[in-house]
Amino acid sequence: MVRLIKRIWGWVFRPSVVVGQGILLLVGIVIGIIFWGGFNTAMEATNTMGFCISCHEMRDTVYEEYKTTVHYKNASGVRAICSDCHVPHDWGPKVVRKIRATNELWHKVKGTIGTPEKFEAKRLELATHVWDTMKANDSRECRNCHSWEAMDFEHQSRRAREKMEPVVLGTDLSEGETCIDCHKGVAHNMPKIERDD
């Protein structure tokens, strides 16, 4: 057994094998860097506003709605783009979101929301998917830009202060609520919801 281990050890560290392994390792590293760079570049390219509104379904509907909101134009000059609210910033969750987005490509091909009428018919379903995701992750994307610590209650409206201050101070009795529970429709038109009378 010892003799076998010595033979394997000698073979692995023979100069010709070491050089071959080194070249193979170097080629693997170069291919890995190229793949990683290309993959990351593609992910970032799909996070741009231009990419998001490149299809008419988004450009003619939700983009037009978004342009009328405080997330598009405001006194501070800070603009949130589509990916700020719809794509996680952390790498792992971002990859998961991008994989799930392939379903959206399938529906683009099918023409599921290809006309304004089809879009409006699906608006509640689409919004509900986004709201459910935001509820499940405690409105993580909202918190990428908004923080409790940075809120200046003195400059908020009376109603906003009454709602937000108890949450921040921990005196709010509502358990499990998150940003999206109160802020649906903040960047897009609310879907029509059928109500029971």
How far is CA 78 from each of CA 88, 140, 146, 185, rounded to the nearest angstrom? Answer: 19, 19, 12, 19
Q: Which pLDDT score is estimated for 178?
A: 85
Q: Please indicate if the annotation marks 104 as binding a ligand.
A: yes
Residue holding tokens 């509907």?
A: 61
Q: Is 79 helix (H, G, I), strand (E, B) or coil?
A: coil
CB atoms within 10 A of CB 101: 12
Q: Which pLDDT score is estimated for 29?
A: 93
Residue holding tokens 């699906």?
A: 122
Q: Please indicate if the annotation marks 56 as binding a ligand.
A: no
Q: Please indicate if the annotation marks 43 as binding a ligand.
A: no
Q: Please indicate if the annotation marks 85 as binding a ligand.
A: yes
Average pLDDT per run of 10 along the chain, which is 197 residues long?
Answer: 78 65 86 93 92 90 93 90 93 91 87 90 93 92 87 86 77 74 89 71
Q: Please indicate if the annotation marks 89 as binding a ligand.
A: no
How far is CA 6 from each of CA 15, 21, 70, 191, rounded to the nearest angstrom? Answer: 16, 19, 71, 73
* Among 177, 176, 175, 179, residue whose Cα is nearest residue 187: 179
- Helix axis angle for 15-45 and 2-12, nearest 10°, is 60
Q: Which two tokens stand for residue 102?
A: 């392939």
Please tell me the distance from the alpha carbon of residue 144 to that of residue 87, in angstroms, as a whole number: 11
Domain boundaries, the chain: 54-137, 147-172
Residue holding tokens 């000698």?
A: 10
Q: Please indicate if the annotation marks 142 as binding a ligand.
A: yes
* Among 9, 27, 65, residue whose Cα is nearest residue 191: 65
Q: Is 80 helix (H, G, I), strand (E, B) or coil?
A: coil
Q: Which pLDDT score is estimated for 65?
A: 93
Residue holding tokens 């919801």?
A: 193
Q: Please indicate if the annotation marks 188 as binding a ligand.
A: yes
Q: Please indicate if the annotation marks 183 as binding a ligand.
A: yes
Q: Please indicate if the annotation marks 82 as binding a ligand.
A: yes
The number of C-alpha atoms within 13 Å of 113 and in the hemisphere containing its C-beta is 22
Residue partners of 5: CB distance under 8 A and separation at least 6: none
Q: Which pLDDT score is estimated for 166?
A: 78
Taken in order 149, 150, 155, 160, the sign of the CA dihedral is: negative
Q: Please indicate if the annotation marks 107 as binding a ligand.
A: no
The reported pTM is 0.75
